[in-house]
Structure 1
Amino acid sequence: MDYRVHVDRLPELDDAVQDLAETVGRPLAVMDPSMRVVAYSIHESPEDRRRLFHLLAHSDAWPRPRTSRQAWQVESFPEVGPLAFLPLSDPQRHPVGYLVTPEDAADRPALIDAAPQLAELLRARRRESAEREERSRRLAVDLTSGNLHARESAAELLITERFLSDAEGYCAVALGVDPRDPTPLAREKAAQAVSRTLRFVRETSTATVIGGIMDAPVGVLVFPRPVVVPRLIRILEQPQVAPVRAGVGTLLPLADVHHSFGQARLAWRASWLAPADHQIVTTWDGAGLDATLARLPLEDFTLADLPPSTRDLLGTIDSPLLLATLEAYLDAGGDAQRTARELNIHRSTLYYRLDKLRTAVPGDLADGTLRRDLHTGLRMARLAGLVPQP
């Protein structure tokens, strides 16, 4: 049989596997090079279904079959017993996957004869999958950063082509390395974080999510549901992804998801401006004032850009301890008892420090307007890196 025919004239991989299984009278499965099951025939008996369950659940953690001059390799696994693997290769003999049977098959010639066709169909599926993935990446970028026409077109295509499910709300995520000092690997790191998240969702669920990379470079993800922050933290804590951080926007209709991405991007930026105060995944709501201040070009700020009271304070006081005390006092709304408790110091020590600060503050710390200016001004200064560090 001539297997060198156009892909459009070949049966689909799933049907080809089922047809072959009917011919040889045994259940079959096809794995990709990572040992992940990508196609399988009907498994009727309880024993066959149990074996298939273990293949689907665990095979991607199994070692690859040992290389050998023999066409077939038989490997035994505690959960399923012996399995026979027939390597599937492209015309250049590069491995593209495996045909798997539950035992050393008696009808080897028919399976070996079918191997080129299965390999070609597997390659075609991989090409189609890669093309769809690239298309979804472009649409994800258009949806969150394009003009109105591009966003509307992307939203329609993402639903009609089933990249995303139709949902009441969609949540955008921005992720990447420090925007103030991007490394040469910034784009690669962002792409890696996007790919690992997409792969995690794909391999652990049937849920939909899309992602891509902006020119900035900033990664973007779009979920048709709220983001589970602890789960995303676990993905970004992997050493291969560090030091990527992420921001998460609010849930909005698909037509407005670019606003969610705008929020996500500011939350991501805020988490880098104050990494000690935010988790590696920071939500728009959780970032609070920092996300709003992140709109400012804080990297270019000098003392002259701060409110006069903050400028005068920082021009006089350079003690990180005193400045941290004032910030804690302002955070506590001027409550001395609460401030002393938060700083774990005696109230007399707090009053001593506040007296020193009052000499540098042009006004009364009991004045609400002054406290507001100092509170916001000091936060701006800290995000801009203008507050002395210990």
Structure 2
Amino acid sequence: MESSPRLTVRGLLDEPLMEGARVVDREADLDRALTWVLPFGEVVGRFDDLTGVAVYMRPEALADSAHALSALAARDAAALVVDGSVPAGVPWPPGLVVIELDLPVGFAALNRLLAERSLMQEVHVMRYSAHVHSTLAGLLHRGAGLNLLVKEVSALAQHPAIALDARGQAVAFHGVDVARAEEISEVLHKQLSTVTAADRHAHHDTRVLEEVVGGAPWTCTASTIRLGKRFEGWVVVLASGTSPGPHELAQHAVVTEQATAIIGSEMLRQRSVDEAEERARGDFVQALVHGSFTSQHDMQARAEYHDIDLTSTFAVFVAPGYGENPAGPGGDESGGLLRLARYAASVLPHPSVRSYVTVIGDVLVVVRSLRYRDPRDVELEIAEYADAVSQDLSRRRVRPVPVAHGVPAVGADQIRESYRQARVALGIGQRLGMSGSVAYRDLRGYGVLELVAETDRSRRFVGDVFGSLKPGTDLYDTLSAYLAAGGNVNAAARELSVHRNTMLSKLDRISRAMGMDVRLPENQFTAWLAVRLELLDRLRTSVENEINYR
């Protein structure tokens, strides 16, 4: 929309200079906007648009230029002003507003009139814009938050106001209750997210929407919040009931446009504060899962500061972040893994449940309090949350994502062990290509082997079995796939996308490197055991190094 109500043809006729002027067609549209006037000689023979432009013409020129009048109508001229009496019998094209002046006034006087009106209007808009900006900027500099800023926007517009973030959530509002604010924000987000081709072409950042919310009509004037090239949300003035007039809508547009930079700056400041607090909370969560407090008093003091009840029962969930998002070009921007962790924490919300997130390396960590105390209910609650997080992350990453968890931690002292179990389960789950909920307790066979894997005798056994075959090589991966396929050569070849003969050739090389035929069942079990022990020893070493790092 225009930033201010413009002069119309009807308004021009009310000017003293136009006294005695007559409209040839009484049914013509006199509410057309009028911004400028040009002499007929300058517009004839051209093809540019004449929207908002009045064309000045002398009566004696009509006889020779009657054929050009239809072109003026086609170019959407606002009006044709004839400076004197109109000759009889002139064929007027439909849609063209023709004004006949009683007394000639001259082009200079008419041009000066429109220029003065335009300048006066612009000065009025600039003064009002400066008033709105200084009022809101003064509040911002005095430390007013979003609520006070939106309240002042509402006072300036004399209507309710609401600020929406980039996801369409109401972050502050005034003049409406919470339920109505949520209803309006939901409707507005759907409409404002759809940009028409005309708005995109005109680069309009202010839109007026007519919506029905709660059975009542609302006229919503919304301006886009942009900080640099980044979109942050909208500032919206809400007028219920009868639609406001053009002048009032123009005032609303000025208020919202001036408020976008101020409210956007406060939103950015608040986000920086929230992220700083979240980083501090994330550091505390890392200390919890690593058990790296100097004393019990240190842990209690930091927990009280972050409002964390250390006597609750917790479950620790871990998921791979993956360094690059296949769904987005160039991967995630800065802080993408932490945002993923926040999304994971927001899954299956409940008033009595608190979730604390952090990122360790490329692993997302969520420490979540549990509602239930009965072991069976606790197990179901943990599995339900892990499955839900896995589905959410898989959808965002466009790939299967396992979410691992250890046994529940009763009190903060057991969080470290629960985290260690979750990391081991995650490593096993990734190695086996698992997805969904991966519970440490479901990997009972690995739990027994884990007790043996860290001994020197186990390491010697692994070295003797593998011989010259090194973990991480192509032959080692081939052996793992062959054992995972239950010794089926064809299935392993399909899994690795190689020919059966190639698979057989690699198995021969593996057998020579290990000094035994891996195609024999008893040797397959020995190789399977060595692969598992090597995996568990590597995972244990990695997790222990992380937890014990200071």
Counterpart of 2:220?
83
Counterpart of 1:32?
165
Counterpart of 1:208?
354
Q: Report how far residue 14 of structure 1 moved.
A: 1.6
Q: Is the 8 A contact 2:348 2:388 kept in 1?
A: no
Taking the TM superposition and a 5 Å limit, the aligned residue runs for 1:1-390 are 1=134, 9-44=142-177, 49-50=179-180, 52-53=182-183, 55-56=185-186, 59=189, 63=193, 65=195, 66-67=199-200, 68-70=202-204, 72-75=206-209, 83-90=220-227, 92=228, 95-102=231-238, 106=248, 107-108=251-252, 109-149=254-294, 153=298, 156-162=301-307, 164=308, 168-176=312-320, 192=336, 195-199=339-343, 201-202=345-346, 205=349, 208-215=354-361, 217-225=362-370, 227=382, 228-238=385-395, 240=397, 242=399, 244-252=401-409, 253-275=411-433, 278-291=434-447, 293=449, 305=461, 324=486, 378-381=528-531
Query: 1 CA distance for matches of 2:325 and 2:339?
Result: 19
Q: Is the 8 A contact 2:356 2:368 kept in 1?
A: yes
Q: CA 1:18–1:379 in structure 2 vs 1: closer, same or farther (change >3 Å)?
A: farther
Query: 2 CA distance for matches of 1:77 and 1:97?
Result: 19
Query: 1 CA distance for matches of 2:138 and 2:147?
Result: 18
Deviation string for 1:23-62 (max 9, x for gaps)? 5342221112333322222415xxx944632525883796
Q: Give the paired residue count.
A: 325
Secondary structure in structure 1 of the residue aligned to 2:294: helix
Secondary structure in structure 2 of the residue aligned to 1:237: helix
Secondary structure in structure 2 of the residue aligned to 1:149: coil
| 1:125 partner letter | Q
Query: 1 CA distance for matches of 2:229 and 2:336?
Result: 29
Q: Is the 8 A contact 1:266 1:295 kept in 2?
A: no
Q: CA 1:40–1:257 in structure 2 vs 1: closer, same or farther (change >3 Å)?
A: same
Larger radius of gyration: 2
Q: Report how far residue 307 of structure 1 moved.
A: 12
Q: CA 1:287–1:54 in structure 2 vs 1: closer, same or farther (change >3 Å)?
A: farther
* TM value normalised by structure 1: 0.63
Q: Report how far residue 169 of structure 1 moved.
A: 1.0
Q: CA 1:184–1:229 in structure 2 vs 1: closer, same or farther (change >3 Å)?
A: closer
C-alpha RMSD of matched pairs (Å): 5.0
Indicate the larger mover: 287-296 or 7-16. Answer: 287-296
Counterpart of 1:331?
none
Query: 2 CA distance for matches of 1:214 and 1:232?
Result: 18
Q: Report how far residue 223 of structure 1 moved.
A: 0.9
Counterpart of 1:333?
none
Secondary structure in structure 1 of the residue aligned to 2:144: coil
Identity of aligned residues (%): 11
Deviation string for 1:286-331 (max 9, x for gaps)? 2222245457779x999962599x99xxxxxx9x69x949xxxxxx
Counterpart of 1:370?
none
Q: CA 1:184–1:17 in structure 2 vs 1: closer, same or farther (change >3 Å)?
A: closer
Q: Is the 8 A contact 2:355 2:368 kept in 1?
A: yes
Q: CA 1:86–1:196 in structure 2 vs 1: closer, same or farther (change >3 Å)?
A: same
Q: CA 1:127–1:134 in structure 2 vs 1: closer, same or farther (change >3 Å)?
A: same
Q: Is the 8 A contact 2:293 2:299 kept in 1?
A: no
| 2:271 partner letter | R
| Bigger relative contact order, structure 1 or 2 (CA pairs below 8 A, ≥6 apart) | 1
Secondary structure in structure 1 of the residue aligned to 2:275: helix
Q: CA 1:25–1:6 in structure 2 vs 1: closer, same or farther (change >3 Å)?
A: closer
Query: 2 CA distance for matches of 1:167 and 1:302?
Result: 38
* TM value normalised by structure 2: 0.47
Q: Report how far residue 282 of structure 1 moved.
A: 0.6
* Unaligned 5+ runs, structure 1: 312-317, 326-358, 363-373, 386-390
Q: Report how far residue 192 of structure 1 moved.
A: 4.7
Query: 1 CA distance for matches of 2:291 and 2:416?
Result: 9
Q: Is the 8 A contact 1:51 1:79 kept in 2?
A: no
Counterpart of 1:371?
none
Q: CA 1:198–1:11 in structure 2 vs 1: closer, same or farther (change >3 Å)?
A: same
Q: Report how far residue 170 of structure 1 moved.
A: 1.4
Q: CA 1:7–1:244 in structure 2 vs 1: closer, same or farther (change >3 Å)?
A: farther
Q: Is the 8 A contact 1:155 1:255 kept in 2?
A: no
Secondary structure in structure 1 of the residue aligned to 2:183: helix
Q: Is the 8 A contact 2:220 2:236 kept in 1?
A: yes
Q: Report how far residue 140 of structure 1 moved.
A: 1.9
Deviation string for 1:352-374 (max 9, x for gaps)? xxxxxxx9769xxxxxxxxxxx9
